[in-house]
Amino acid sequence: MKKVLCIIAALTMVMGSQAADGDDVGNLGVGYQGIFFGDLINGAAVRWAPEPFGGQIELGQGGATLDPSGAAETSADIFMLKGKFFYSLIERENSTFYVGASLGYYMIETDSGGGSDTEVDGFSIAPLVGTEWHFQGLPELGLNFEISYELNDWEAKNPDADVGLYGIMVSTGILYYF
């Protein structure tokens, strides 16, 4: 999965650099987007800057390991695909304040070593607010900060279970615009 993410990021950067004209900075950015939840779910992002409409696609992969004393080690692989839609409310020379929504798909596979593997998949939907800054003299570099209220519905197999997670999520990113 990591190889696929690297290939997609490299192809997007090459295509974006081919489309860049002179010194003008466009609305297409490529970079990193991460959730403040340790380094569990971080991913590559492709963003169309909100002027006034924009969007973002995030592709993330992560993992976790639990090694309790006296029990078998459990590891989890996490995959995320998320799309976001933005509308900018305030546009300044070096910053934008926007609102939007996101829709995501998650897939989690666990391996407990004892033969009781579990697969979890589900979706999330969230309203969000965010801002993006560009430094004076360095307009191609964008830093963003978003706060959302995530509503998650996940279903597990073996054992069958429905999981509902909801709450405030904070994410940040850094992107290079072509």
Q: Which residue, 44, 51, 47, is CA-closest to 28? A: 47
The 10s digit of each residue's pLDDT in 4-36 is 455 555 555 554 444 444 456 778 999 999 876
pLDDT greater than 70 at residue 43? yes
Query: Are 117 and 110 contacting, i.e. CB atoms less than 8 angstroms apart?
Result: yes
- Backbone phi, then psi, for 57, in 5-degree steps? -120, 130
Q: Output the pLDDT for position 74.
A: 79
The 10s digit of each residue's pLDDT in 62-104 is 887 877 777 777 788 889 899 999 999 999 989 999 999 999 9
Which CATH code fits 2-64+73-177? 2.40.160.20
Where do the domains of the chain lie? 2-64+73-177
